[in-house]
Structure 1
């Protein structure tokens, strides 16, 4: 799933290509992906793109006051074409295609024949597309928490969020209503940089610990945003994987201490961590089988 750095990279990439260009066609292929009906998707046609923004993990294309706001979820992606296909788009109710292959969900064509496709891979279709007059009409955007790269996100703000509810720190980092834009991958990376267990309770952090975690959040995300900057959309996934220190690296050496990166599995996801760097050498038990060793 693309997270804040990749979504920021996509926002920059799309802004450079869309701004100032007029939409000549907008067609939905996966009907279930379109979550709104007023204004209709066709309201984008004839309007000029004035900007592209990021709200957490949501992308927002502003076409003269009509916003195409979308969340790529786990299997969604953006594909850019200098010569967008002109073949008619067939709308369908289901996901179509089957298997893991990416299928077209939405196509937007521009006046110079370029365009973007929103695609989604996998059988579980979660791509969410909204056409609205104001991004705040999308509940998931309106209820987003603080942006971790925003000027107002300091150690004091983070400390207040952590003390508002005593919970596992990884859960707090991933809660979009608290901090917007961090998902499973970058929460693993942040906690490794901070040298803390993913299951440590937020109520146990003193002021010095909060400062360390804050620095880990900002440095990890800033580095990833810089790595994504200027890359075409097709390269962002590989750039994300290449920058990971523990996430997705189960069984490999920790680049900091040389210990083996371990994994805790859940029903539909997993996390990775380094015992030496994060848990004083303790191996966390698989949550599916037994209680967690904190």
Structure 2
């Protein structure tokens, strides 16, 4: 799933490539992707693109006061096309969900596609006059790169939960997902199963500093990259996430995994849990 750094990079990509252009035809290949009907998607046509920004993990393009907002979910992505086909896509064929055509001041006619891999279709698109009309944006907590240390401590104190759970709860903190929470916890040398209400001030400091460093470094690394390269760059920057069975680059211990529901997370026992191997829902207790 694209998280704060990737969505920030996509917003910057749109600011570079789409701002100043005029929206042309909008092709809807999967009606299920549209979560609003008023204003209609056709209301975007003919509008100037005046900005692009991020709200948590939502990507928003400002079309002169009318917003096209998307949440890419787990399998969604944005693909830029310099020379798109003039023929509208056939609905229900392949991963394409939505295509937005542009007319640039230089006379070019690029487009971007919103695509979604896999069979579970969760990519969502809204057209709104105010981003706060999107329920997911209205519920967002403070942004992970804008929250102060004092606010961060207050956020953690509002709920007694595992740190892993708290970091990915968008109503508490906006922008962090499964992958970067793994990286943050590894950098902070903290167990994913530690409880937020039991953290000492020093531990909160360590977690806050790790979050700022990991996200800032990822944004710096990704912003300016072509949209097609962002996924690969994200994977290349990971130290524990999606590296189950591989050596930890810090201590050399084997990276372990905990699986639950539809997801999993990774951690290093030596760096984060004093050598203990955590049990997941397939087991009943900590392995000794």
Fold shared per TM-score above 0.5: yes
Matches of 1:237 and 1:267, distance apart in 2: 24
Matches of 1:169 and 1:233, distance apart in 2: 31
State the SS of the aligned residue for 1:240: helix
Q: Is the 8 A contact 1:267 1:288 kept in 2?
A: no
Does residue 1:172 correspond to 2:172, yes or no? Answer: no
Q: Is the 8 A contact 1:27 1:41 kept in 2?
A: no
Report the counterpart of residue 96 of structure 2 in structure 1: 104
Report the counterpart of residue 273 of structure 2 in structure 1: 279
TM-score (norm: length of structure 1):
0.94
Query: What is the CA deviation profile of residues 198-256 of structure 1, one whole-angstrom value per residue up to 9, with x for unaligned ones?
Result: 01000111111111000000000000001101100000000000000000000111011
Matches of 1:72 and 1:144, distance apart in 2: 16
Deviation (angstroms), 1:35: 0.5
Deviation (angstroms), 1:14: 1.1
Structure 2 regions of 5+ residues with no counterpart? none
Report the counterpart of residue 40 of structure 2 in structure 1: 40
State the SS of the aligned residue for 2:50: strand
Query: What is the CA deviation profile of residues 131-172 of structure 1, one whole-angstrom value per residue up to 9, with x for unaligned ones?
Result: 11111100101111111111xx12211111111111100000
Query: What is the CA deviation profile of residues 65-119 of structure 1, one whole-angstrom value per residue up to 9, with x for unaligned ones?
Result: 1100000001110010111221123334xxx44xxxxx11001101121110101
Matches of 1:130 and 1:91, distance apart in 2: 19
Does residue 1:127 correspond to 2:123, yes or no? Answer: yes
Pairwise CA RMSD of aligned residues? 1.2
Matches of 2:185 and 2:57, distance apart in 1: 20
Equivalent residue pairs, number: 284
Deviation (angstroms), 1:293: 6.5
Does residue 1:193 correspond to 2:204, yes or no? Answer: no
Matches of 2:97 and 2:279, distance apart in 1: 40
State the SS of the aligned residue for 2:61: strand
Report the counterpart of residue 21 of structure 2 in structure 1: 21
Match among 215, 222, 242 for residue 216 of structure 2: 222
Matches of 2:203 and 2:261, distance apart in 1: 31
The aligned runs of 1:1-294 (5 Å cut-off) are 1-92=1-92, 96-97=93-94, 103-111=95-103, 112-150=108-146, 153-292=147-286
Q: Is the 8 A contact 1:75 1:120 kept in 2?
A: yes
State the SS of the aligned residue for 1:131: strand
Matches of 2:235 and 2:83, distance apart in 1: 29
